[in-house]
Structure 1
Amino acid sequence: MPRPEQKLSRRAFGATFGAGVAAATGLPTAQAHAAASTEERPFRAAEGRTSKRPNLLYLLADDLGWADLSCYGSPHIKTPHLDRLAAQGVRFTDGYAGSSTCSPTRLSLYTGRYPGRTEAGLEEPIIEKSTVGLDPEHPTLASLLGTAGYTTAMIGKWHCGFLPDYSPVKSGWDEFFGNFGGSMEYYSKITSDKRYDLYEGETPYKDLRYYTEILTERASDFIGRDHDKPWLLNLNYTTAHWPWIAEGDTEEAKRLEKRVRELPLEQAQLALAHLDGGSLDKYREMVESLDRSVGAVLHALKKSGQDRDTIVVFSSDNGGERYSNSWPFTGGKHTLQEGGIRVPTILRWPARVDGHQVSDVPVFTPDWTATFLDAAGARPAPATPLDGVSLIPYLSRGETPERDLFWRTREERALRRGKWKYHRATEAKIPPRNGKDALFDVERDPHEGADRSAHEPELVAELKAAWEKIDAGLLPYPSGS
């Protein structure tokens, strides 16, 4: 069978992609149908439907590659629960993260704005010794929804500043249970600076069970409450971020914790990165554990009777790292190549959106902030306008958003307009292109192998000018960074 991208348009791609997934993974026929397979069809808006104000559930994975789910083509990782979620809604083939690292993307979700609009967004990512964070005075998804009458909660990884100055409950979430930093060992909760990092609100909370299990339990409990108002739940898993500790790896967890505690601080930070650990099989275990956890949360949602009127979005904060699969893209976390920013993105909203659909419309993290606010009838703050656009017109009436997607890091710049992507790396991290403006047709060439800049000089100049116009409105990076 020929590769879909060789013979098919991007919209036709969705109708046959699932059949290839079933063949590659060996899924039984019934499971393949449940996993957004041959029934998947190009997106069509469900015009004219009405529903009450929805609950909002954002499921965020950590360092998950675009092809790490079986419904996105993984040949060896089985993710039946996420496949089923995709089959019940829309699978976006061109979903992007707001940045290529953790903190900036989370800031783009919490604020709906480019990371570079805030001082904290210039940290890529925020590390334990950082003194910056999300300003508690800045309007957030949670604070705006709270004003509109929503109950708001965050469970899991915050990673936008540390106590005593920054926390989710200072930025509009009614309640918080989770970790403040970027990484920790899954059992002991020890961080790279040797601190314990699990909190309820702003108070340390002792629980030495596997972290993914704890978050799933907490989220299920929240969903199962007797809610008298619509709610927002940001459920931020740390899976599949290093260290490579799967559920049940208690001896390896103890060994790693002991090593982190005994080493000097700089060496302890490297030790937690687990450079001597992990494998493709271990990574598979972690992602499949995430899939089971998502399944448990969705089961709790269905059991509560709220699933029809809940918008569920699943995505990742950036592309994958050491053991992830981002084929057919190049690059990974920390780069603005497709593998660093294109991420699995799934939406389900039974009250308003049909299932078994695929969309090739480019969307990115700040769009979901705008979409959630729009669905809830909440307004952005005039002083901090959103950079994302609401997808409600697209989901309801098929009105495709016409705009550019913009990314900026210290070392790279990128902008996507339609099928075209403008990209430049300012350091020698992507030889031989460093310092050169490049242009790619990412519909025909998702691998970013054929630089078309010499053939389209006027378009390159136009996209470069568009990038620089947006960049001029952002905070500059500190000199020397």
Structure 2
Amino acid sequence: MMRIAVLAVAFLVSSGLSVANAQTGDSEKRPHIIFVMADDMGWGQTGYRNHPVLKTPNLDLMAANGLRLERFYAGCCVCSPTRASVLTGRSPVRCGVLTHGYALRHQEKTLAQALKDAGYVTGHFGKWHLNGLRGPGAPILAEDTYGPGHFGFDEWVSVTNFFDVDPLMSRQGKFEQMEGDSSEVAMAEAIKFLEKHKDGDKPMFAVVWFGTPHSPFKALDDDKIPFGNLKADSENHYGELVAMDRSIGTLRSALREMKIADDTLFVFCSDNGGLPRIEPDTVGGLRGNKGNVYEGGLRVPAIIEWPSMIQPRISSYPACTMDLFPTVADVLGLPEDVFVKPLDGVSLKPLFTDEIGPREQPIGFRFQKQAALVDNDWKLVTSNREQDNKFELYNLKDDPHEEKDLAKAKPDQLAKLKSAYQAWDAAVEASFAGKDYAAGKLTEPDPEPHYWTIDPRYEKYLPEWKDRWEYRSYIQKVLKK
């Protein structure tokens, strides 16, 4: 136990950042920042990774001109937790976001809040899924205290969860019927935001969270044409990704037309690993899928493009969504108090200019009974973290598909990673209990996740929405009771 306690302290200490010394120049030179995230897109679903049927020419161009991260991990193997990790730099378990549909705690500090305080104008567009509501994406209510506006976003056009063709969205509480593919709708709103503010005196932060290619799968007819020989779900799934890739191209062109491309830090990634039962394979041959902590459930495509600062290359440095907030803070020289600590992320700023050595801080994951710890080439995995004999050990360099469990062959390495995991896990438990916050405890209970169809605030909309294809089955269950 003493060794575990010492390691826990080491994790807490190593979670700090030396952002105070970052040199960014005057305020006019601060970059614009854009985060774009797919929903359920697997590691193998890009043209640059030679997917057998999907072409992604715009992501391929972005990868060819930016930093392509081949070992990038989502904060969790499902969506809401990863979104929390992006905004906080912390394991989602620390934030109380245990699985999909959980709300982000008000006591957390977000990247959007930090950038807003630093003089940025901030906007969110698309899927939110951090307000405790489950079910298909519905317009976020103006009075929802867990919506984007309460976590640092000045402007937002958002929905609660996944959304598809012709979505009904909320512009800061005002409902609007949109037309077209969901990715292109969200991107069009983000571009309007950028055009509105590009000549202002504030740099811009835009977050675009797609609902693609999450189920239910519904693509535009023209986008399905290349996949006509596939089953319907796969055909629509890949058709959605065609439109998503096109929206990436629209954004990159718009940045060039606005003459801000060189000065924009643009990050693309997915929120968790790829889906099973979609053909061809979504995860590039990795083991596992969304919902588990093997590589296929956690490793996702990721690219960082910043033409004036990043020379194009491919990196195998193990990075994660928790690193994004610390990276931006390092780039801008933000003070340490923008974070709730401990952090689980580290700054990737040194990686922008050169390869860096092994990652000093392992990356921990927890989801339900599952857990994993990635420590450079080594990975610890368990399907039941409560049972000591359930831990598996893999060398990802030699065995990227996690086929050969080395737990018995490498007992010393297994013990080392288990000790590190237990230290991290103990720190995460303390965070979950609220020990990290200024009050030393939770000041309000975590909202109970529930479907918006049974939320009294949405009750008056059910008769009007009951015939919408994306809501019909959910609302019928409620109206029949």
TM-score, scaled relative to structure 2: 0.75
How far, CA to CA, are the matches of 2:170 and 2:327 in structure 1? Answer: 29
Map Cα deviations across residues 356-401 of structure 1 (whole Å, 9 max, x no partner).
x100000000101111122222234366123211111232454444
- Report SS of the residue matched to 2:81: helix
Equivalent runs, 1:431-450 vs 2, <5 Å: 436-450=390-404
How far, CA to CA, are the matches of 1:63 and 1:94 in structure 2? Answer: 17
In the alignment, which of 384, 403, 414 is matched to residue 372 of structure 2? 414
Equivalent runs, 1:177-326 vs 2, <5 Å: 177-181=157-161, 183-187=162-166, 189=167, 198-225=169-196, 226-248=199-221, 278-322=232-276, 323=278, 324-326=281-283
Identity of aligned residues (%): 32
Contact 2:265 2:306 in 1 (8 A): yes
In the alignment, which of 326, 334, 339 is matched to residue 370 of structure 1? 326
Map Cα deviations across residues 77-136 of structure 1 (whole Å, 9 max, x no partner).
1111000000001111101101000000000001111101122x12x111xxxxx51233
How far, CA to CA, are the matches of 1:325 and 1:383 in structure 2? Answer: 35
Task: Give the corresponding residue for 1:144.
Answer: 114
- Report SS of the residue matched to 2:428: coil
Per-residue deviation, 1:214? 1.2
Task: Give the corresponding residue for 2:84.
Answer: 107
Q: Do residues 166 (structure 1) and 146 (structure 2) align?
A: yes
Contact 2:183 2:210 in 1 (8 A): yes
Q: Do residues 134 (structure 1) and 104 (structure 2) align?
A: yes
How far, CA to CA, are the matches of 1:49 and 1:376 in structure 2? Answer: 6
Aligned length: 385
How far, CA to CA, are the matches of 2:339 and 2:218 in structure 1? Answer: 43
Map Cα deviations across residues 255-298 of structure 1 (whole Å, 9 max, x no partner).
xxxxxxxxxxxxxxxxxxxxxx8333322211111110110011
| Counterpart residue type for residue 364 of structure 2 | F
TM-score, scaled relative to structure 1: 0.75
How far, CA to CA, are the matches of 1:448 and 1:284 in structure 2? Answer: 27
Contact 2:293 2:370 in 1 (8 A): yes
Task: Give the corresponding residue for 2:137.
Answer: none
Contact 2:364 2:421 in 1 (8 A): yes
Contact 1:412 1:424 in 2 (8 A): yes
Q: Mind listing any 5+ residue stretches in structure 2 that lack a counterpart?
A: 1-22, 134-140, 224-230, 434-445, 450-481
RMSD over aligned Cα, in angstroms? 2.6
Per-residue deviation, 1:443? 1.2
| Counterpart residue type for residue 125 of structure 1 | H
Q: Mind listing any 5+ residue stretches in structure 1 that lack a counterpart?
A: 1-47, 127-131, 190-196, 251-276, 428-432
Q: Do residues 424 (structure 1) and 378 (structure 2) align?
A: no
Per-residue deviation, 1:462? 1.2
Map Cα deviations across residues 319-370 of structure 1 (whole Å, 9 max, x no partner).
0114252122011000000000000011111111112x10000000010111
Q: Do residues 360 (structure 1) and 316 (structure 2) align?
A: yes
More divergent stretch after superposition (231-240 vs 368-377): 368-377
More divergent stretch after superposition (441-450 vs 155-164): 155-164
| Counterpart residue type for residue 95 of structure 2 | T
Task: Give the corresponding residue for 2:301.
Answer: 344
Q: Do residues 63 (structure 1) and 40 (structure 2) align?
A: yes
Task: Give the corresponding residue for 1:265.
Answer: none
Contact 1:137 1:171 in 2 (8 A): no
How far, CA to CA, are the matches of 2:339 and 2:243 in structure 1? Answer: 42
More divergent stretch after superposition (385-394 vs 413-422): 385-394
Judged with a 3 Å threshold, the aligned counterparts in structure 2 of structure 1 residues 159 and 380 are, in CA distance, closer, same or farther, namely farther
